Chain A
Amino acid sequence: MIRVLLPQHLRTLAGIADEVKLAVAGSVTQRTVLDALEAQYPMLRGTIRDHVTQQRRPMVRFFACEQDVSHTSPDAPLPVAVASGVQPLLVVGAIAGG
């Protein structure tokens, strides 16, 4: 199972208490993980990536295995540790304050 950790606002929106565990068939990429996430939690559509273009929203980042994978292709395989469920994929809201 793929593990995904969402920011607090999205967990509240989707009624998720903790990590999400997703079954992803085939290659484990940002796109296939988000497809599975949005299929299970339709209210998350449009919150992480655009409804139409499927591009990541500007103030959202993807971290995996202590790396920022936000700028890699959405169709590139995620690290083996994420694909095997050892490490979660982190969906992160940009820090803002002042």
Chain B
Amino acid sequence: MSTVRVLVGTRKGAFLLTADGQREKWSIAGPYFGGWELYHLKGSPADPNRLYAAQSSSWFGQQIQRSNDGGKTWAPVGNKFVYDGVPGTHQWYDGKPHPWEFKRVWHLEPSLTDPDVVYAGVEDAALFRTTDGGQSWQELPGLRGHGSGQRWQPGAGGMCLHTILQDPANPARLFIAISAAGAFRTDDGGRTWKPINRGLVSPYIPEPTAEVGHCVHRLALHPTRPNVLFMQKHWDVMRSDDAGESWHEVSGNLPSDFGFPIDVHAHEPETIYVVPIKSDSEHYPPDGKLRVYRSRTGGNEWEALTKGLPQRDCYVNVLRDAMAVDGLDSCGIYFGTTGGQVYASADAGDTWAPIVRDLPAVLSVEVQTLP
């Protein structure tokens, strides 16, 4: 029978949650790297025993940890992230030029085909890649250098590159997203990039339809339809049917279209999930009710999923990297909260139960479906 391994990054360490395909009885291991912030962990699709973890600390900086045995043991690998050439400047909060400074790794995206190749999205926003299993990291400078980099500006959480999507049908194509710059695409393996933000409207920036400057919170795609992208923006849930060339809003009947994560059902490319948050100044669910919303129509028509989730007095947040889906049938959905709960649904969101309730604030959730 298949097993499921949930990789959880928190403010104070990492945890590995495992269960069989029933997803009812869970084993919880950790904390790993206790006391450190684990912004993200992810396993290699090409070798599920190869895991990577982004471990950081305000005191001692960035570490990258690697496991070759599914998380039983870990070892630090390379942690040197140096921008290519003269880093130049981006905009600071006051609109003035500010030098690019590496702060931390937000997201690790292992290659679909090579366990030694990993992309890293960092703050201040840039994309790095390793081809030697994390021992050394090189920037893909075409992203910051494509022309708009000096106009990028940090969001409240920092100027982070938080989303990296690979096109399974086209290894040369990547999508990335940056807060607060927007979404970008390369069609040549990362050498050159273009902004893909046409159709986004952000009233909170001076030019609401600008080429860059949008606070994109998350992108998602289904691997069988990589030209269809879904986006949770600072406000608005958006959809593109042409690989990001144009976007249209699909917020529909959501109680709030502010939020952070968005994800796609493993077997139904038109079924998507978001977690509405009341507003950008409150950062908790509307009405104190923690509700996942599911659309089976690729957006616009949404249903609230509440069974097993707290429906009163709930004021947690769900961060952008803290939702994932497994590959089982029926599809499992997982998300973690800033209150330290990790919820799982083994029936595509119809019913939910906490796997664990009292972890440190959850920063990221990833799932591996193992044979």
Contact = CB atoms under 8 A, between A and B. Distances in A.
18 contacts: A7-B60, A9-B59, A13-B63, A13-B76, A43-B76, A43-B79, A45-B80, A46-B80, A47-B60, A47-B61, A47-B63, A48-B60, A51-B80, A57-B59, A59-B59, A60-B59, A93-B59, A94-B59
Contact of B60 (A10, A51, A96): A10
Interface string B49-75: 000000001111111000000000000
Given A9-B35, A9-B36, A93 B60 contact: yes
Interface of A is mostly: loop
Interface of B: 35-36, 57-63, 76, 79-80, 82
A17 interface: no
B60 A57 contact: yes
Contacts of A59: 58-59
Nearest to B82: A52
Interface residues of A, number: 17
List the 3 closest A-B pairs by CB distance, nearest first.
A47-B60, A43-B76, A93-B59
A48 B59 CA distance: 8
A46 B79 contact: yes
A58 to B, nearest CB: 9
Most buried by A among B60, B61, B76, B80: B60
A9 B80 contact: no
B60 A9 contact: yes
Nearest to A51: B80
Interface in A58-98: 59-60, 93-94, 96
Interface string A29-48: 00000000000000101111
Contacts of B57: 9
Nearest to B62: A46
Contacts of B60: 7, 9-10, 13, 47-48, 57, 60, 93
A57 B102 CA distance: 13
